Amino acid sequence: MKPTFLAISLLGLTWLPSLSHAAPTPPNIVILFSDDAGYADFGFQPDCAEEMKQLTPNIDTIARDGVRLSNAYMSGCVCSPSRAGLMTGRYQERFGFDNNLPPGHKNGVDLDETFGVKRLQKLGYKTALIGKWHLGYPAEYHPNERGYDWFYGLLQGSRGYHPYKKPSPHRVILDNKKPTPEEGYITDRFGDAACQFIQENKGEPFYLFVSFTAPHSPNQPNKKDLDRIKHIKKNMRRNYAGLMVSLDDNVGKILKTIKDSGIEDNTLVIFTNDNGGQTATGANNGRLKGKKGSLWEGGVRVPWAMRWPGKIKAGTVVNDPIISLDILPTVVDLTDHPVADSWNLDGRSMLPLMTGKAASLPERTLHWRQHGPEGSISLRRGKWKLIHNRGIEGATPELYDLENDLGESKNVAAQNPELVKSLLSDMKQWESQLQDPLWGPGSPSRKSKK
């Protein structure tokens, strides 16, 4: 018997290590993306507007149970460009996407650009986009052609929240490429679709991008939510808050589905917003100057929270400036696969910050531009923000110390001429790598009409 026992033991010794080194299941990624929300309109924000403090309890749990990013940015100041940058991991101005994509336009994100989800598909991820697309209307630009296994949403940048009698082809809700009946409240439909995808794919790694239209105008709250917002006196602000309440309810529904599916500990949840708040329709950006459509902090700085139980310490705050371009390299880093130099990404992995392995990362410069080489341009390096609103007659480069002047109220360019010179050199070098917008302000076609 002894020889037999020894043989079994030896077989066991050669087998057990392979078990202990079995590759862990890659984490699921869920991105919850609101639209035009105010910087001061979420309870997890330190300067949240008083009337909003109790209206986003589900979104607030993401920051409570994870990390809040206090210096977070989108790469664009309006809806369409910010999505183009996030989904490619590259400054969208590199491929002519400075401006919002007009309804029905025959262009979109350059077909030579690779979406991050295409790379994730090759790593075994199931991918889905729920909600707003706004990155191309022709067939070759459709989400299914750019890396999303399932698309449930609209191609255009906005629509009403209640059913239309006859929606346009780009505002109807598509199930992949098939129009669906007009029924139900839009935010609820997107929340339900996200839950459906999670339930159907919980057994394999997935990437889910939930691109809510809320609280983008029109301000059409769900009637069932009116009692919860009646304390807000101003009509526009109250109706805007109604969109926020529905957004939060559906985020809560998605978080519950993740938990009930038993995948909470292996799912990174990211919540953020697509650009600065649109104050013209009721958003509140707090101390920030400007709004959606400008390169002031109120146009590009966004609320951002992330949760990954067991990996991100609850209640963490990261103060490093981060940008939406960082999402793709971070997600790839989570899969233990390298980011190839040939991808030419402009972001970097946030993983060391998220997991507490690094208190901060090396300083870098972040850039923004809109409307091409004659439009506004800005950058941030460390605490310094340089902005030049070139489209305004007489404008000169302005410098702000964001650490001590978050509201950009005191231009200190005259007191720091050498710093301004250095930052302008960075700005010029970055802009030399960009192309003119393919449409809209600053595009060659627009210039030729002048």
Where in the sequence numbering do the catalytic residues fall? 79, 134
H-run or E-run covering 131: strand 126-132
SS3 383: coil
Give the H/E segment covering residue 367.
strand 365-369
How many Å apart are CA 110 and CA 95, to the nearest integer?
Answer: 6
Both structure tokens of 390: 């070139």
Q: Which are the contacts of 376, defined by CB distance < 8 A and separation ≥ 6?
A: 294, 295, 368, 369, 370, 387, 388, 389, 390, 391
Amino acid found at 90: R
Distance between CA atoms of 115 and 118, rounded to whole angstroms? 6
Rounded distance between C-alpha atoms, residue 81 and residue 87, angstroms? 10
The total of other beta-carbon atoms located within 10 Å of residue 317's CB is: 10
- CA 438 to the chain's CA centroid: 23
CA 95 to chain centre: 19
Q: What is the DSSP letter of 335?
A: T
Helix, strand or coil for residue 97? coil
**What element of type H or E holds 334?**
helix 327-334
**Residues of the chain by 3-state class (helix, strand, coil), percent to 5:** 35, 15, 50
